[in-house]
Amino acid sequence: MEGTHYFEDIPITKQQVLNCAYGSWYPRYKKITPKSHIISSLPQSFIEYILQDGIKMPPEFFVDYILEDASEYSDWEQSDDEQSVVTPEARKHKQQQRRSVEDPTKNFSEIHEQIKSLIQKNGPMLPKLNWSAPKDAAWILPNHSLKCSSASEVYLLLNASSYIVHDLSQSLDECSDIDVANLKKEHKGLKFDLILKEWFDINPAWEFRCFVRDRRIVAVSQRDPNYYDYLHKMKESIKDKLFDFFDIHLKRTFQSETFVFDVYLPDKSEKVWLIDINPFSRTTDSLLYSWHEILNLDLSNYDEDDFDMRLVNEFSTARFASKEHSENYVPKDMIDAAMDTEKMIELMKAYQQQQLSDSS
Q: At closest approach, how far in Å is the CB of 293 from Mg ion? A: 20
Q: What is the CA radius of gyration of the chain?
A: 23
Report yes or no: 193 and 243 within 8 Å, Cβ to Cβ.
Answer: no
Strands 308-310 and 216-222: parallel
| Interacting positions 224-263 with ligand ATP (CB under 6 A) | 262
- Is residue 278 involved in binding Mg ion (CB under 5 A)? yes
Which part of the chain contacts Mg ion (CB under 5 A), choosing from 137-145, 237-245, 277-285, 296-304? 277-285
**Closer residue to ligand ATP in complex, CB, 21/57:** 21
Q: At closest approach, how far in Å is the CB of 201 from ligand ATP? A: 7
Give the integer Cα–Cα distance in Å for 127 and 66: 23
Residue 28, phi-psi category: left (phi > 0), alpha (psi -120 to 50), beta (remainder): alpha
Pick one of 39, 111, 118, 133: the residue that binds ligand ATP (CB under 6 A). Answer: 133
Instruction: Give whole-number Cα distances, 143 to 8, 84, 148, 164, 224, in Å.
Output: 42, 36, 9, 20, 19
Pick one of 153, 193, 276, 308: the residue that binds ligand ATP (CB under 6 A). Answer: 276
Q: At closest approach, how far in Å is the CB of 273 from ligand ATP? A: 9
Report yes or no: 57 and 153 within 8 Å, Cβ to Cβ.
Answer: no
- Is residue 293 involved in binding ligand ATP (CB under 6 A)? no
Q: At closest approach, how far in Å is the CB of 262 from Mg ion? A: 6
Task: Name the binder of 197 from Mg ion, ligand ATP, none, CB < 5-8 A by kind.
Answer: ligand ATP
| Interacting positions 144-183 with ligand ATP (CB under 6 A) | 146, 163
- Is residue 32 involved in binding ligand ATP (CB under 6 A)? no
Q: At closest approach, how far in Å is the CB of 59 from ligand ATP? A: 28
Residue 15 makes CB contacts below 8 A (sequence gap 6+) with 255, 256
Report yes or no: 264 and 272 within 8 Å, Cβ to Cβ.
Answer: yes
Give the integer Cα–Cα distance in Å for 349 and 33: 39
| Interacting positions 298-357 with ligand ATP (CB under 6 A) | none
Pick one of 193, 224, 276, 308: the residue that binds Mg ion (CB under 5 A). Answer: 276
Q: Where are the alpha helices (DSSP H) in the chain?
A: 14-19, 22-25, 44-51, 59-65, 80-84, 88-99, 109-122, 151-160, 162-170, 183-188, 229-233, 235-245, 291-295, 317-323, 332-339, 341-359
Footprint of Mg ion on this chain (CB under 5 A)?
276, 278
Footprint of ligand ATP on this chain (CB under 6 A)?
34, 126, 128, 132-133, 135, 146, 163, 197-200, 202, 204, 207, 223, 262, 275-276, 278, 285
